[in-house]
């Protein structure tokens, strides 16, 4: 299992496309988010600006983690690399566990890196305006922890979806449609606005925006249970499907 995890890590660092996505996401807080947060009208910058930067970065990290997970799993089928790796590791559930675990770890590192860049950029900006900032406040650390957690869960979901769908284009398109449209439309169609809180995106909102009125009932722990439950179901489904399905 350790060998498979190391092999998966090596896969990540030996493809330019993955590194390019990671680089763009890490640079996002400094290059794009901070100016956007300020332009959005926070006339009185304060410590809350820092949290806004972190949460804004999390939105990008979560989508990136989801897509990287899909690309990592479905890409094995797209490029045919599933064949040599399964010949080396024919017990497929181990391969799936390594794939999902490595993507979760990559997402955690990515979330930490994005948060660090956000804190550095935000801290530097606020310090330049004589705003007193406690970078290691409980709110900041809690938000960073939540970002790492949801990014890891979303990466696991992405890898599981990639393993289940196998068709990379279909999996990416489906995931984007879900995130950008379905999660917003379904509660409206069903006339049940509260439903959104229990969908993945709503759960992320509850975990990251703990003071947001949208959080509603249940709180972050219930959101975490909902998101972790969905992740566990998809991961188990990916393992069972990969174990039994033909590789043609």
10 lies in the binding site for another protein (CB under 8 A): yes
98 touches 1 (CB < 8 A): yes
Total number of residues binding another protein (CB under 8 A)? 27
Q: Which is nearer to another protein, 90 or 128 (CB)?
A: 90
Q: Which is nearer to another protein, 166 or 196 (CB)?
A: 166
**In the complex, least distance from residue 73 CB atom to another protein, rounded to whole angstroms:** 13
Distance CA 168, CA 166 (A): 6
Among 6, 36, 48, 233, binds another protein (CB under 8 A): 6
Spatial CA neighbour of 158 closest among 39, 21, 34, 2? 21
Spatial CA neighbour of 121 closest among 187, 60, 32, 185? 32
**In the complex, least distance from residue 5 CB atom to another protein, rounded to whole angstroms:** 9
Site for another protein in 48-87 (CB under 8 A): 75, 79-81, 83-87
248 lies in the binding site for another protein (CB under 8 A): yes
77 touches 126 (CB < 8 A): no
Distance CA 157, CA 232 (A): 9
Q: Which is nearer to another protein, 13 or 120 (CB)?
A: 13
Assigned token pair, 58: 């999390």
181 lies in the binding site for another protein (CB under 8 A): no
164 touches 245 (CB < 8 A): no
217 lies in the binding site for another protein (CB under 8 A): no
Q: Hey, is 245 helix, strand or coil?
A: coil
209 lies in the binding site for another protein (CB under 8 A): no
Residues making contact with another protein (CB under 8 A) = 3-4, 6-7, 10-11, 14-17, 75, 79-81, 83-91, 244, 246-248
């Amino acid at each position: 299992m350790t060998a498979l995890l190391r092999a998966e890590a090596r896969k990540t660092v030996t493809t330019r496309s993955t590194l390019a996505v990671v680089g763009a996401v890490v640079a996002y807080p400094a290059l794009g988010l901070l100016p956007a947060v300020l332009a959005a009208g926070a006339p009185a910058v304060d410590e809350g600006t820092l949290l806004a930067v972190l949460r804004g970065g999390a939105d990008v990290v979560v989508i990136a983690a989801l897509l990287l997970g899909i690309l990592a799993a479905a890409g094995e089928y797209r490029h045919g690399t599933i064949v040599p790796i399964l010949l080396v590791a024919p017990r497929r559930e181990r391969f799936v566990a390594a794939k999902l675990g490595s993507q979760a770890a990559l997402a955690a590192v990515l979330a930490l890196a994005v948060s660090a860049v956000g804190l550095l950029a935000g801290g530097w900006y606020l310090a330049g305006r004589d705003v007193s900032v406690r970078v290691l406040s409980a709110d900041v650390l809690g938000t960073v922890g939540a970002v790492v957690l949801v990014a890891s869960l979303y990466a696991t979901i992405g890898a599981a979806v990639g393993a289940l769908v196998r068709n990379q284009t279909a999996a990416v398109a489906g995931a984007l449609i879900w995130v950008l449209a379905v999660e917003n439309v379904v509660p409206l169609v069903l006339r049940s606005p509260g439903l959104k809180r229990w969908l993945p995106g709503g759960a992320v909102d509850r975990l990251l925006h703990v003071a947001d009125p949208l959080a509603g009932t249940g709180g972050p722990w219930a959101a975490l249970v909902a998101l972790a439950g969905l992740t566990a179901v998809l991961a188990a489904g990916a393992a069972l499907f990969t174990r039994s399905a033909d590789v043609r």
